[in-house]
């Protein structure tokens, strides 16, 4: 096992290998290292952007919690979970392109969470852009008492910036052939 991959938790290592297999890169240690470094870069971008916006890391987000969130999965995907409004949330899934076996981006404005969002478990929707995600690595929520419109703006801005950064990281990992 390579040095970069070995620094990641075992659960993430499993996802790195799955991602590599579906990326079009050779299924070997060099590719695992490349994808692992990209994953570390994405985690750092996530941490920086949520800190810049004053978001807080939490271990869970109950279904009935009014706060919105940005979620980073083990596979490096981003999930935008809007604030709860009239029992529904805006939600979007961003795979950010390396994987070829999942949609790149899907969104739905009237999403309903199936269960609480918790670290180490997938995000599940009874109504949503997707049925389920890979396991959650980090959950960032807006601070208390922000208006729903303000939360949506913060979450959307953070997600747009991270999506671009994640895409740039992926382009460096798996150059697009023209």
Q: What is the pLDDT at residue 17?
A: 87
Q: What is the pLDDT at residue 1?
A: 62
Phi then psi for residue 136, to 5 deg, are -85, 135
Token pair of 13 as six digits? 């290592």
Show Cβ contacts of residue 173 under 8 Å, excluding neighbours closer than 6 positions. 23, 25, 34, 35, 37, 38, 98
Residue pLDDT tens, the chain, 178 long:
679 899 999 989 988 888 888 777 888 999 899 888 988 998 999 999 999 999 999 999 999 999 999 999 988 889 999 999 999 999 999 876 555 555 578 889 999 999 999 999 999 999 999 999 889 999 999 987 789 999 999 998 998 888 888 888 877 776 554 4
Q: What is the pLDDT at residue 178?
A: 42
């Amino acid at each position: 096992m390579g040095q970069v991959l070995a620094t990641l938790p075992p659960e993430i290592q499993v996802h790195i290998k799955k991602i590599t297999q579906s990326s079009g890169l050779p299924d070997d240690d060099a590719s695992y290292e490349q994808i692992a470094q990209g994953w570390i870069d994405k985690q750092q971008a996530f941490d920086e952007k949520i800190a810049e916006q004053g978001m807080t890391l939490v271990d869970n987000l109950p279904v009935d919690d009014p706060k919105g969130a940005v979620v980073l999965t083990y596979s490096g995907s981003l999930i935008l979970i809007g604030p709860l409004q009239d029992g529904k949330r805006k939600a979007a899934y961003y795979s950010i392109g390396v994987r070829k076996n999942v949609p790149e981006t899907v969104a739905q404005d009237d999403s309903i969470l199936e269960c609480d969002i918790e670290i180490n478990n997938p995000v599940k929707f009874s109504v949503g852009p997707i049925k389920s995600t890979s396991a959650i690595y980090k959950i960032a929520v807006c601070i208390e008492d922000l208006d729903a419109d303000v939360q949506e703006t913060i979450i959307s801005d953070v997600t747009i910036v991270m999506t671009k950064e994640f895409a740039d990281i992926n382009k460096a990992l798996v150059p697009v052939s023209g």
